[in-house]
Amino acid sequence: MRIDHIAIAVRSIDAAAERLCALLGYARKTTKVTNTRQKVNVVFLSKDASLDIKLIEPSDSDSPLREFVEKGGGLHHLCFKVSDVTKACADLAGKGARVIAQPAPGEAFDDHLIAFLYLGLGLNVEVIDTDDRRDALR
């Protein structure tokens, strides 16, 4: 299990991407992808020799993310790459983590399985098993 990316919840992906790219030297890795299951829009930023940053914004008025970003947003989750999402969820749940979104296809990851868990300590994590990103810029 290794950290794949850090996710930040924002009101506007475009404004946040522009600011973080200018301040931190990141570049857009993908175009905006709508994750209909999570009701968020997603853009990945990348930088050589660094973790990716995933920016997420609510995709509509009933997005579960809306209240969080209205309060200011910020760090939303860490994502870990694993060899098997279903097995990692079972393992983490067996150690006391709470599964908050069962393994399901993730549009931002070309429909590879993703899942979300709460580890306690205010920490949400996502688990994925792929390097694929939908709509990667070339």
Q: What is the pLDDT of residues 19-43, one digit of tens each?
A: 999 999 999 999 999 998 889 999 9
Identify the burial level of 51 via C-beta atoms within 10 angstroms of its C-beta, where 0-12 means exposed, 13-18 middle and 19 or more buried.
middle
Which of 27-36, 62-71, 129-138 is predicted least confidently?
A: 129-138
How far is Cα 129 from Cα 127, in angstroms, rounded to an integer?
Answer: 7
pLDDT at 138 over 80: no
Residue 1 to residues 16, 76, 83, 84, 125: CA-CA distances in angstroms? Answer: 28, 19, 8, 10, 12
Burial class (CB in 10 A: 0-12, 13-18, 19+), 133: buried
* Tens-digit pLDDT profile for residues 1-10: 999 999 999 9
pTM of the complete model:
0.93
Strands 27-28 and 2-9: unpaired
Q: How far from chain centre, in Å, is Cα 129?
A: 13
Answer for the pair 73, 11: CB distance below 8 angstroms, yes or no.
Answer: yes
pLDDT at 137 over 90: no
pLDDT at 53 over 90: yes
| Token pair listed for 9 | 């919840």
Domains and CATH numbers, the chain: 2-128 (3.10.180.10)
What is the residue-averaged pLDDT of the chain? 95
